[in-house]
A and B are shown apart, each in its own frame.
Chain A
Amino acid sequence: MNDFLQFLQSQSGKLVEQTLTHVHLTLLSVALAILAGVPLGILIARKQKLAGMILGFAGILQTIPSIALLGFLIPLLGIGPKPAIFALFLYALLPIIRNTYTGIRGVDATVREAAVAMGMTHGQVLFKAEMPLAMPVILAGIRTAAVINVGVATLAAYIAAGGLGEFIFGGIALNNTNMILAGAIPAALLAILFDFLLSRAQKLSMRHFRWAGAAAVIVFALSAITPAAKGKLLAGFTPEFMGREDGWLGLKRIYHLRIPTVVINDAVMYQALHEEKLDVVSGYSTDGRIRAYNLIILDDDQHIFPPYYAAPVVRKDALERFPELGPALDLLAGRINDSVMTSLNYRVDFLHESPATVASDFLGKQGLLKPQRHGKKGVVRMGSKIFTEQYILCEMYKLLVEGNTELSISSKTGLGGTKICFDALTNDQIDFYPEYTGTGLLVILQQPLTENLRNKDSAYNFVRDQFEQQYGLQWMQPIGFNNAYALMMREAAADQLGIRSITSLTRYLNTQKN
């Protein structure tokens, strides 16, 4: 608790900024959805034939996964608040259109006929009879949309639009509960606040709406003022990278790098770099997109990025129960180097081959592929984080274990980030997953980086010993490649600016400012 308050205090500036951005994203998108959705709802209440089509379309928009939607929007709207607000706007449309439609259709036909019979024009019937009577239902739709959007707006952190998602996703990635709570609690409070305010609005009569409307316009105008500072080059970093000593913090401290940054999800980060919306991103050195997008990795000449050698981390009790498991997992040890891993990733991400195909191809070429034995001796539960490399490794382990032992594998792939995988492992939900030495060191052990630990072998030995002592977990032999953090740029841009290393990037930026 004290920890948490201390965290809030130390991060209060960021917290206020993120909360304001969050409110801004939510309000602006809901306001736009009202402006578009209410007239559309009125239109389809008049023209029944359009109703099915428009409601169906808005419904389909609702089902597009948000990260996919954001991905589609980058080529059109770039990154930052624009695509975020647009995506949120699309998600808010359905409840608003549907409730406007239902509300207006639900107005008593007798009342509508009375309005017409008294000589009201179409507009007067709408504004004096139908709208006020439908208003509670319309407001309920707006309320739903606002509450949904407070939640969905956390995803704005995926595309450099800020908001409380920065803390939430950063905290999940960094295994920092205080950081998660610093984002999640204000987000929940915002949802409750919006819900409460709109529930009050539902009880107001029509004439109060003029005041409510005026207040909304003012809030809207205020919140529309967003800081838009942009330097020469723009960097996009993942929430995790932003909070790490072997990330943005180290870049600032050791390289004295000064560059405007935005927070972005790694699923869209490379694309944004490729689309020239960003100039520098924090990537992983074996990512297939490095090859696909012609990116180069800036040389880490001051060595702030620790080694990230991958190896399976296994529960001790599983190794004891199934003595043949360890040797089967170690069959991959030393087999994959950086460039091999990059091209395996490339085959899945860009040639759209399945991780299973790529895995069995590779094992075949290495002479490691054996017929599956369909053994019945026991089930080993395997986990993975959600990215391509882990999927491929897991497919390989499945083939190796099921081909070399009488064990079978049950996959629990797609366990979000480090924290989720590690918690699943210690809580006996899975038996092993592939982890990286650097992550073990910094995220799980929360070990400050010493010079010694930047060495590949000493880092591995350190995490192996500590995991065994503290958690009773076994690190198997490293697979060979080093999927370290890396700063990367478009090769063409880096060539043009003469940037090869992080030091030369810092130098370039310093000359630009003066």
Chain B
Amino acid sequence: MIEASQLYKAFDGRPAVQGVSFTVPEGGRFMLLGTSGSGKTTTLRMLNRLLDPDNGQVLFHGKDTRSFRPEDLRRQMGYVMQQYGLFPHYTVAENIAIVPKLLRWDTSRIRQRTEALLQKLGLSWEAHAHQYPAQLSGGQQQRVGLARALAADPPVLLMDEPFGALDPVTRARIRQEFNELDEFKSKTVVMVTHDIRDALELGDRIGIMDKGRLIQTGTPEELQQHPANDFVAAFLHGKTDAP
């Protein structure tokens, strides 16, 4: 479904991502795991054309993403940002309705969908739909961010450190809730994280990144049993990273 090949991106002449290739089949859950500054976000941004690679290409349904209108491509890929990125001037309900509105859904369908999503994510229409993001806790904002990405039921979900801003306890709980969500189960997912537990719990394949390169790709078991080098081994045992 998503095929990245030989992605290369430099900022001011300094490569941030080089030679990155991976494939995510339909329904696959690919975890990009790596230290800070290793190029994970840059890689993710190239998938929905928030950035265009200097070299290499991304295929979506076998077609070069550059052949799509960028807006159409992005509306098929829900995007969850590390810093939530909610519209501060929109209510919770309005934030969730953004993509459905862009796709010209009718009002009652949007309302139904929003209510259902809020409920699935442990929020309620009555209590939260008309609140503004500033009135919510970090965990609640993150749920709204997820709901917004899921709202138009896109086939693909791109997530950049979706639990990054949460304390470890909340993080574990939301991760588990999320994992059990049937919404989530039907998606093709690419998720960036630097937390090994996120990757092991949510991923079916993991790519380890370091200094702009994808060092090793494999299932959680493969990586744990046959780490390609000391870096991967150390990383998987949580030694290089402070969560």
Q: Which chain A residues have a beta carbon within 8 Å of chain B's beta carbons?
A: 108, 110-111, 113-121, 124, 128-129, 132-133, 205-206
Contacts and interface: CB of A to CB of B under 8 A. Distances in A.
Interface stretch (B20-28, B73-81, B120-128): B73-81
Which residue, B70, B73, B86, B89, has most C-beta atoms of chain A within 10 A? B89
Contacts of B72: 119
B74 A119 contact: yes
Contacts, number: 55
Which residue, B71, B99, B148, has most C-beta atoms of chain A within 10 A? B71
Interface string B24-35: 000000000000
Contacts of B89: 132-133, 205-206
Interface string B187-230: 00000000000000000000000000000000000000000000
8 contacts: A108-B88, A110-B81, A111-B87, A117-B81, A119-B99, A124-B102, A128-B87, A128-B98
B166 interface: no
B99 A118 contact: yes
Contacts of B102: 118-120, 124
A117 B50 contact: yes
Contacts of B74: 116-119
Interface size class of B (residues with CB under 8 A): 20 to 34
B85 interface: yes
Given A113-B50, A124-B102, A119 B85 contact: no
B81 A114 contact: yes
B38 interface: no
Contacts of A133: 87-89
A110 B71 contact: no
Contacts of A120: 71, 98, 102
A114 B88 contact: no
Contacts of A115: 87
Contacts of B87: 111, 114-115, 128-129, 133
A118 B79 contact: yes
Interface of B: 48, 50, 70-75, 79, 81, 83-89, 98-99, 102, 148
Contacts of B81: 110, 113-114, 117
A114 B82 CA distance: 11
A118 B75 contact: yes
A432 B227 CA distance: 99
Contacts of B85: 110-111, 113-114, 117
Query: 4 smallest A-B Cβ distances: which pairs?
Result: A114-B85, A119-B75, A119-B74, A117-B79
B50 A114 contact: no
Given A110-B81, A110-B83, A124-B102, A117 B88 contact: no
Contacts of A111: 85-88
Which residue, A108, A114, A205, has most C-beta atoms of chain B within 10 A? A114
Which residue, A111, A132, A206, has most C-beta atoms of chain B within 10 A? A111
Contacts of B48: 117
Contacts of A206: 89
Which residue, B75, B83, B85, B86, has most C-beta atoms of chain A within 10 A? B85
Contacts of A114: 79, 81, 85-87
Nearest to B149: A118
Nearest to B75: A119
Nearest to B78: A118
A178 B106 CA distance: 63
Nearest to B148: A118
A426 to B, nearest CB: 59
Which residue, A111, A114, A116, A117, has most C-beta atoms of chain B within 10 A? A117
A40 to B, nearest CB: 24
Nearest to B103: A119
Contact of A121 (B50, B71, B83): B71
Contacts of B50: 113, 116-117
Nearest to B71: A119
A206 B87 CA distance: 13
Contacts of B83: 110
A113 B84 CA distance: 11
B236 to A, nearest CB: 30
Contacts of B75: 118-119
A129 B88 CA distance: 9
Contacts of A113: 50, 81, 85
A121 B71 CA distance: 6
A114 B87 CA distance: 8
A115 B102 CA distance: 11
A305 to B, nearest CB: 65
Nearest to A135: B89
A116 B48 CA distance: 10
A128 B99 CA distance: 12
A119 B148 CA distance: 12
A132 B88 CA distance: 10
B60 to A, nearest CB: 14
Which residue, A115, A118, A120, has most C-beta atoms of chain B within 10 A? A118
A117 B86 CA distance: 12
A113 B74 CA distance: 12
Contacts of B84: 110
